[in-house]
C-alpha cells in the first residue's frame, strides 16, 4: 500500500514538473520572439534617419498612450503630434531592453533545465544547485536595477514627448524628478530564498554522494 502511494505521488510530481516545464518552454519561445523583434527594430532604427521618421510623423496622425502599472494616460493629439524622434535615445532604450529580456530569458532557461532534471528524478545534484544559484544571482541583480530601468523607460518617453515641460507649464506641477536608485525588496527576498534553497540542494547532493560512496 505504501509503495502504491509513493508511486502515485511520484507520477503526480513528474506530471507537475513536466507541466511547469511546458509553461517555461512557452515563455522561452515568447522571449526569443521578443528579442528577435527588438533586433529587427534595432536594424530599422540604424537604417532609417531621423529626418525620414519626422517626415512620416508630419504626414501621419499619431495616437499615443502611456501605461504606468494599472494607469493608462491617453495623450492629446497636439502632444502626440509634437513627438520628437531621437535615434540615440531609442537605440539606448532598445539596447537596455535587450539586456533585461536576455537576463529574463536566462532565468527561464535555467528554471526549465532544473524542472527537466526534477522530472527525471534528479533532485539533489550539483547541477541543480549551480543552476539555482545562478537564478538567485540574476534575480538579485534584477532587484537592484529594475527600478532604474523602469525610471529610464519613463524618462525616455517623457523626453520624446516633452511631457515634463508640458506638465510644468500647466502650473499644477512644480517640477518632475527622476529617481534612478532603489531596491525591489520583493525580488531581493525571492533571490535570497532561492539562493538558500540552492545551498540546501548542494548539501543534499553532498550527502547523496557520501551515501553512494559508502553503499
Classify residue 75: in a domain, yes or no: no
Per-residue pLDDT of the chain (215 residues; tens, 9 = 90+): 445 345 545 677 778 888 899 999 999 999 999 999 999 988 888 887 766 666 655 555 555 555 555 656 665 555 555 556 677 777 888 888 899 899 999 999 999 999 888 888 777 788 888 999 999 999 999 999 888 888 887 777 777 666 666 666 666 666 666 677 778 899 999 999 999 999 888 888 777 766 666 76
| pTM (two decimals) | 0.75
Quick check: is 57 in a domain? no
Using DSSP, state whether 83 is helix, strand or coil.
coil
Q: Is 147 within the bounds of a domain?
A: yes
- Give the up-direction half-sphere exposure of residue 41: CA atoms within 13 A in the CB hemisphere: 15
Residue 167, C-beta contacts closer than 8 angstroms, at least 6 positions apart: 173, 176
For residue 168, the cross-strand partners are none
Residue 60 falls inside a structural domain = no
Determine the pLDDT at residue 8: 43
E strands present in 5-98: 65-68, 71-74
Query: What is the count of structural domains for the chain?
Result: 1
Q: Which three cell numbers stand for residue 122?
A: 534528479
Q: How far apart are CA 152 and CA 138, in angstroms?
A: 20
Residue 160 lies in a domain: yes
Amino acid at each position: 500500500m505504501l509503495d502504491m502511494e509513493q508511486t502515485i505521488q511520484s507520477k503526480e510530481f513528474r506530471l507537475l514538473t513536466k507541466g511547469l516545464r511546458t509553461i517555461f518552454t512557452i515563455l522561452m519561445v515568447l522571449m526569443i520572439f521578443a528579442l528577435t523583434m527588438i533586433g529587427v527594430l534595432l536594424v530599422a532604427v540604424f537604417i532609417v534617419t531621423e529626418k525620414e521618421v519626422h517626415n512620416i510623423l508630419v504626414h501621419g496622425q499619431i495616437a499615443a498612450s502611456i501605461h504606468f502599472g494599472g494607469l493608462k494616460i491617453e495623450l492629446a493629439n497636439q502632444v502626440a503630434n509634437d513627438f520628437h524622434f531621437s535615434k540615440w535615445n531609442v537605440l539606448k532604450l532598445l539596447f537596455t531592453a535587450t539586456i533585461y529580456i536576455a537576463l529574463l530569458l536566462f532565468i527561464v532557461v535555467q528554471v526549465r533545465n532544473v524542472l527537466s532534471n526534477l522530472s527525471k528524478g534528479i533532485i539533489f545534484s550539483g547541477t541543480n544547485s549551480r543552476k539555482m544559484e545562478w537564478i538567485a544571482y540574476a534575480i538579485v541583480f534584477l532587484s537592484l536595477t529594475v527600478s532604474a530601468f523602469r525610471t529610464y523607460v519613463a524618462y525616455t518617453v517623457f523626453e520624446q514627448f516633452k511631457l515634463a515641460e508640458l506638465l510644468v507649464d500647466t502650473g499644477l506641477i512644480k517640477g518632475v524628478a527622476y529617481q534612478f536608485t532603489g531596491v525591489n525588496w520583493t525580488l531581493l527576498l525571492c533571490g535570497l530564498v532561492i539562493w538558500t534553497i540552492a545551498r540546501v540542494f548542494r548539501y543534499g547532493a553532498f550527502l547523496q554522494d557520501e551515501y553512494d560512496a559508502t553503499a
